[in-house]
Amino acid sequence: MKKIAFIIIAILMLDFTSAYGWGAKGHDVVAAIAEQHLTPKAKRKINRILDGKSIVYYSSWMDNIQNSPYWENGYNKTKTWHYANVDEGFTYQTMTKNPDGDVVSGLEKLTKEMTENYRNLTDSMRVDYLKMIVHMVGDLHCPMHAGRLSDRGGNGTKVKWFGQNTSLHSVWDSKMIDSARKWNYSEWAEQLDRTDRKYRKEIMKGSYEEWFNDTVENAADLYDYVEELGDTPNLSYQFVYDFSPLLEEQLLNGGYRLAYVLNTIFK
C-alpha cells in the first residue's frame, strides 16, 4: 500500500513539474526586459492593477498558483495553459488541440478578455489575467513548451546534464539558464537588451500563433541535435555553447513581445 502511495505521489510530482515553464529566473528575465519597453501609459495602468508591484514580481505566480484550490476566478483549470505539445511535422494549426486549452488558445482568450471585455471584469480578474499573460508569453518562448506530444514536451526524452540524469524538458526550464551564466535576472536583462529600434520593431509584431510556431521550429532543432547523439546523451559545455544563442534570443524576444502585448492591451 505504501509503495502504491509512493508511486502515485511520484506520478503527481512528475505531472506537476512538467507544467513549469522557464524556471523563475527565465520568467523574471522576460518580464524585466518587457518592463523596459512599456509605454508610460501601460506602466501607469499596470502599476495601478498590481497595486505598485511589478510584472517581474508576479512573473512566476501562475506556476505557483496552479495547484491551489483557493483561486476564485474559475481559472484553476489552467494546468495545460503553459504549453502546447506538437508532434513532429505538425504546426499549431494542424495539431490536435487539447480540449482543456493550451498556451496559445489561453493567451488569445485572456487577451480578448482584457481588450474587448475589460469593463465587465472584476478587479481581481484583471489582476489574475494580467499575471497570467505575463507568465504565459514567457512559456510561449520556452522551446520545450512546444515539444512533442509523444514525449510529453521533452519530459520523456532522457538526457544527462553534466552527468546527472534528467530530461530535455528540464534542461530547458532552468538548467540551461543556470549553467550558461552566473547572472541574476536583472544582469541577464541588462546584457541581452541591447538591440536597436529596427530589431525591436521587427520582433514586436505577429500573433501568438506565429510566435509559437517559431518555438516549435526551435524545438525541432533541439530534438534533431539530441537524437543525433544517441540514447541518453550527456549534454554539457558543448550544448551550452551551441544553444546559448537560442536561449538568449528566446528570452529577449519573449520580453519584447510581452511589452508589445501589454502596450496593446493598455493603450
User: Does 139 engage in binding with Zn ion (CB under 5 A)?
Assistant: yes
Length of the chain: 267
Q: How many CB atoms lie within 10 A of CB 229?
A: 13
Give yes or no for residue 82 binding Zn ion (CB under 5 A): yes
Q: How far is CA 143 from CA 9, 12, 116, 211, in A?
A: 27, 23, 30, 11
Interaction with Zn ion in 58-77: which residues (CB under 5 A)? 63
Based on CB atoms, which residue is closest to Zn ion, 82 or 169? Answer: 82
Q: How many positions of this chain bind Zn ion (CB under 5 A)?
A: 4
Cell matching residue 66:
496552479
Q: How many CB atoms lie within 10 A of CB 262?
A: 26
**Contact window for Zn ion (CB under 5 A) among 21-29, 36-44, 47-55, 160-168:** 21-29
153 near Zn ion (CB under 5 A): no
- Give residue number: closest CB to Zn ion: 21
Three cell numbers, residue 78: 489552467
Q: Which stretch binds Zn ion (CB under 5 A): 17-25, 38-46, 103-111, 123-131?
A: 17-25
Tell me which stretch binds Zn ion (CB under 5 A): 98-106, 119-127, 139-147, 163-171: 139-147
Closer residue to Zn ion in complex, CB, 35/63 = 63
Q: Please report, as ranges, the residues that interact with Zn ion according to CB under 5 A.
A: 21, 63, 82, 139
